[in-house]
Structure 1
Amino acid sequence: MRFVMKQKIFSLRDSFEIFDENDTLAYVAKGGFVSIRKGLTLKNNSDQNVAKIRQKLIAWKPTFYIKFNNGYRCKIKKCFFPLFKSRFLITTPQAEIVIDGDFWAHEYQFSCKGEEIANVSKRWFSFSDTYGVDIKYPEDVELILSAVAVIDMVIHDDSGSISSD
C-alpha cells in the first residue's frame, strides 16, 4: 500500500494530510496548540480518532507512546546506538520494529525480524515536507503512519531546524 504524507505548511501546530495511492484523503494527523509535551491525534477520512500519540515527558532520548482505539499500545523511541546513524525502535506486544535511516538522505526502512515491512522516502518541496510511504501489510498502516509523524517531530525541533542527534 502506498501513501503520501504531506505536512501542512501554514499551521500553528504539527499537522499532516495523508493520501492513499488514488490521491484520496485517507488520514489526518493534528497536534495540539499548546502543550508541555508533543503529541498528535490520527483520524481517518470519516473524522474518527484512530490513534493518540503522546511524548514521554522525561526521557534521555525522544520517546513517544501510541495508543490506538482498539486498545493496542506501543512505544517508539530514538536509540542511542549506532552513534552516527539514526535508529528508532517501536516496541509492540507482539514484536519490535527497527527503523533505520539517514536523516540527511531522508530515507527510512522499517523492519521486523529481518523482514522489511515499510519504506519511507522524504522529498523536499518548496514549502512543505512530503513523505512517500510504502507499507507491505495493511494491518500495519496506522502504526507506520503514526511512526513517520513521530520521526518528523523528532527531526524538527521547535525552531523548525533539523536535529542531528
Structure 2
Amino acid sequence: MKLLFKQRLFSWFDSYDIYDENNLPVYHVQGKLSWGHCLQIYDQTQNHIGTIKEEVLTFLPKFNMYLGEQYIGKIYKEFSFFKPVFHLDCNDWKIQGDWLEWDYQIVTSQGQLIATVSKEVFHLTDTYVLDIILPQNAIYVLMIVLAIDAEKCSRQN
C-alpha cells in the first residue's frame, strides 16, 4: 500500500492531506492550537481516528500517539551526534534511516520491514511517499511520519 503525504501550503497550523496510490484522499491531518505540536488525524468522512501530541518541557522531543482516545505508545528522539535516532515504545518497531531524515525504514526488532518512507524533493512543502507492507499498519506508520516531521520542523524554526 502506498500513501502520499503532502503538507498544505497555506495553513496557520500544521495541516496535511494523505492520498492513496490513485491520488484519492484517505486521511486529513489538522494541527490544533496547543502547547507543542498536536496533530489530529481524520478519515475521509471526517471521523477522528488518531492524535499525535508532543510532550513539552522535555530535554529531547517526545510525542504521544493515540488511536481514537486510547494511548498506544510514544516516539521519542534519542541523543546522537551524527544522525537523528528515534525510538518507539510500541509495536516492537524501530526506525532506521539516513542523516537527512529524508529516507528511512520502519522495521520490527527482528528486522522485518513494516514500511519505507521517502521524501520527494522539489516541492514547496514536505511531501513523502509511504510504502507500507500491510494496510492495517497505515495509521501507525502515518503517526510515526507525522511525529518525525513535526520534530524536524521544530528544530528548523
- Report the TM-score when normalising by structure 1: 0.87
Alignment of 1:30-109 (within 5 A): 30-32=30-32, 34-69=33-68, 71=70, 73-81=72-80, 83-92=81-90, 95-104=91-100, 106-109=102-105
- Separation in 1 of the partners of 2:48 and 2:101? 32
- Separation in 1 of the partners of 2:133 and 2:36? 31
Shift of residue 140 of structure 1?
1.0
- Separation in 2 of the partners of 1:16 and 1:103? 24
Shift of residue 104 of structure 1?
2.1
Q: Which residue of 1 aligns with 2:142?
A: 145
Count, aligned residues:
156
Gaps of 5+ in 2: none
Q: Provide Cα deviations, 1:42-74, integer angstroms capped at 9, x if missing partner.
A: 001111001011111222211000110273511
Q: Which residue of 1 aligns with 2:21?
A: 21
Letter in 1 for 2:113: E
Letter in 2 for 1:26: V
Give the direction of change, closer, same or farther, for the CA distance of 1:138–1:126 in structure 2 (3 Å limit): closer
Moved over 6 A (4+): none
- Separation in 1 of the partners of 2:86 and 2:11? 27
Gaps of 5+ in 1: none
Give the direction of change, closer, same or farther, for the CA distance of 1:45–1:79 in structure 2 (3 Å limit): same
- Separation in 2 of the partners of 1:123 and 1:24? 18
- Separation in 1 of the partners of 2:123 and 2:67? 33
Give the direction of change, closer, same or farther, for the CA distance of 1:103–1:156 in structure 2 (3 Å limit): farther
- Report the TM-score when normalising by structure 2: 0.91
Letter in 1 for 2:96: D
